[in-house]
Structure 1
Amino acid sequence: MIRHTISILVNDQPGVLQRVSGLFGRRGYNIESITVGQSEEPGLSRMVIVTIGDDKTIEQIEKQLYKIIDVIKVVDFSLKPMVARELALIKVKAEPSERPEILGVVETFRASVVDVGPASLMVQAVGDTDKIDAMIELLKPYGIRELSRTGVTALVRGNV
């Protein structure tokens, strides 16, 4: 099974997100992450869905997506050179004595501290999923109080 990043261009209409995510649920396909936002075209939104499946499964998902009237274009980015990013906000328990160590982790991952509390730090990290996962693992021993991740958003590299 391979992780696939699928870009779906859709009409910006109420209910489209529900119809697309419902298709995955009805077919028993898991969505690892989903992001939706404006696209370069007025009136169209871009969904980026990360799912796991073999080539046959992804081909079936693509065919089913095209049956949804508001779906304009479906592209599997997985076999193309792409830039994929995710944002995470991580609130870490951070007593003053632990802060230098935590800041070392933050700097290593080129993340930034966006809020400082009396006993916590909020860290913002941007990068691919593996980078975010690795940073979270290194921060766990300090105590993660809260965590929020956006999910993956992606575009194909170059002039394609």
Structure 2
Amino acid sequence: MKHTLSVLVEDESGVLTRIAGLFARRGFNIESLAVGPAEQVGVSRITMVVPAEDKTIEQLTKQLYKLVNILRVQDITDVPCVERELMLLKVQTKGNKRSEILEIVQIFRARVVDLAENFLIIEVTGDPGKMIAIEQILTPFGITEIARTGKISLVRESKINTEFLRTFVK
């Protein structure tokens, strides 16, 4: 199972290296990683997606707390959250396919950020499922490059799980 960990750390050099080293020593892969300033000056938020079992995540959390500069570790996998990613796709637009691609871009509420004679660069933001969906739909047109950020996530204070609500809307 993939777990999403939100880690608050003191903004000091070497913190990310120590965290990555901890995961590497234990043979775990970090599938997605996003780091940036948090709400408090001098604190950064690291959001990681790690494929592991629940028990393993508990052990990794305990090990993370032993590292210097770790302020808080939270497994937010099963907590109602707002999740987002950013993806840039470079897509071929040979022939009369450009208008079809632009229609797909509109449907996904994405934007064209660069235009050339035979290529478009498309910016997509949204939840991870949206990233996968647009990539699959645009693949037949010829995606030549992809750059994708890691997942970022914040816990919903309303505690409402929108994924759960989607099961009722048809």
Q: Tell me the TM-score range normalised by the shorter chain.
A: over 0.9
> Normalised by the size of structure 1, how large is the TM-score?
0.95
- Show the counterpart of 2:167: none
- Show the counterpart of 2:55: 56
Runs of 4+ in 1 over 6 A off after TM superposition: none
Question: What's the CA shift string for 1:81-132, capped at 9, x where partnerless?
Answer: 0001000000101125111111121112111111101110000000111110
Question: What's the CA shift string for 1:28-83, capped at 9, x where partnerless?
Answer: 11111000000001111000001111110110110110011111100011121000
Q: Which has the higher strand share?
A: 1
Q: Secondary structure at the match of 1:95?
A: coil
State the AA in 1 paired with 2:131. Answer: I
Percent identity reads 47
Counterpart CA distance in 2 for 1:52 and 1:130 is 17
State the AA in 2 paired with 1:70. Answer: N
- Show the counterpart of 2:163: none
State the AA in 2 paired with 1:63. Answer: K
Counterpart CA distance in 1 for 2:25 and 2:100 is 46
Number of equivalenced pairs: 159
Counterpart CA distance in 1 for 2:44 and 2:95 is 44
- Show the counterpart of 2:76: 77
> Normalised by the size of structure 2, how large is the TM-score?
0.90
Unaligned stretches of 5+ residues in structure 1:
none
Unaligned stretches of 5+ residues in structure 2:
160-170
Q: Secondary structure at the match of 2:77?
A: helix
- Show the counterpart of 1:34: 33
State the AA in 1 paired with 2:11. Answer: D
Counterpart CA distance in 1 for 2:158 and 2:62 is 26
